[in-house]
C-alpha cells in the first residue's frame, strides 16, 4: 500500500447535514498525519468525535478515484472531493473490513465501508453515489499511535 494523499478537515460539510445545505470547510492536504490511538487524526473533524467511534480515520482507493474520473470524464477532480483522509493505492480496502492491518508502523482495525451517500452526486457528478457503491472506502479505528507520511509504502 502506498499513501498518495493525506487530508484533514476542520469540520464536516455533509456528515450530519441531511436536509440542510452542505458547509464549505475545505479538505486540507498535509504531508503527514499524527494518528492518535482511539482518537483519530489530530486536526481532523473526527478527532475525539465520540468514544469508540467506528471510523475516526477513512481510507480511499486511488484506483477507484481514477475509475470515477474515467466514468464521468472528469479531468480536474481533486481526490479530496471524496472527503476521505488517506488516499492509498495497491490494496483492496474492502478486504480489510473486520481485520487488523498495519500501515507505516501504525495498527488499524477496518470496521466498515465508508459508504458513499447522495452528497456525492453533487460533489462529484450525478450518478457518483451509485458508481461508488461497494467501493466508497474504508472506515477504521486507530489501534496504535504514530505518524503517517505521504508517498510511503508499508502494510502487513
Per DSSP (E only), the strands in 47-154 are: 57-61, 86-89, 100-103, 106-113, 138-142, 146-149
- How far is residue 149 from each of residues 3, 48, 129, 146, measured CA to CA in Å? 7, 21, 29, 10
pLDDT value at residue 18:
58
Q: Which residues fall within 8 angstroms of residue 23, CB to CB, at 6 or more apart?
A: 11, 12, 13, 17
Per-residue pLDDT tens over the stretch 83-140: 999 999 999 999 999 999 999 999 999 999 999 988 889 889 999 999 999 999 999 9
Indicate the pTM of the whole model.
Answer: 0.90
Which DSSP string corresponds to 66-94?
Answer: HHHHHHTT-SS--GGGG--SEEEESS-GG
* Residue scoring higher pLDDT (76 or 151): 76
Tell me the average pLDDT across 58-72: 97
Look at 25-34, 66-75, 105-114 and tell me which has the smallest mean pLDDT. 25-34
Task: Map out the domains of the chain with their CATH numbers.
Answer: 2-15+24-149 (2.40.33.20)
pLDDT score for 13: 56
In the chain, % of residues over pLDDT 70:
88
Mean pLDDT of 45-49: 93
Amino acid at each position: 500500500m502506498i499513501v498518495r494523499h493525506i487530508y484533514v478537515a476542520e469540520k464536516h460539510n455533509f456528515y450530519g447535514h441531511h436536509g440542510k445545505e452542505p458547509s464549505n470547510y475545505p479538505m486540507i492536504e498535509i504531508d503527514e498525519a499524527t494518528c492518535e490511538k482511539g482518537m483519530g487524526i489530530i486536526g481532523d473533524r473526527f478527532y475525539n468525535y465520540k468514544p469508540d467511534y467506528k471510523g475516526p480515520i477513512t481510507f480511499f482507493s486511488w484506483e477507484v478515484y481514477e475509475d470515477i474520473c474515467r466514468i464521468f470524464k472528469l479531468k480536474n477532480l481533486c481526490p479530496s472531493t471524496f472527503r476521505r483522509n488517506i488516499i492509498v493505492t495497491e490494496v483492496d480496502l474492502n478486504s480489510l473490513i473486520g481485520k487488523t492491518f498495519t500501515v507505516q508502523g501504525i495498527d488499524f482495525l477496518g470496521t466498515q465501508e465508508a459508504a458513499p451517500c447522495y452528497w456525492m452526486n453533487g460533489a462529484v457528478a450525478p450518478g457518483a453515489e451509485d458508481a461508488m457503491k461497494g467501493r466508497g472506502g474504508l472506515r477504521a479505528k486507530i489501534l496504535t499511535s504514530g505518524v503517517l507520511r505521504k508517498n510511503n509504502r508499508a502494510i502487513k
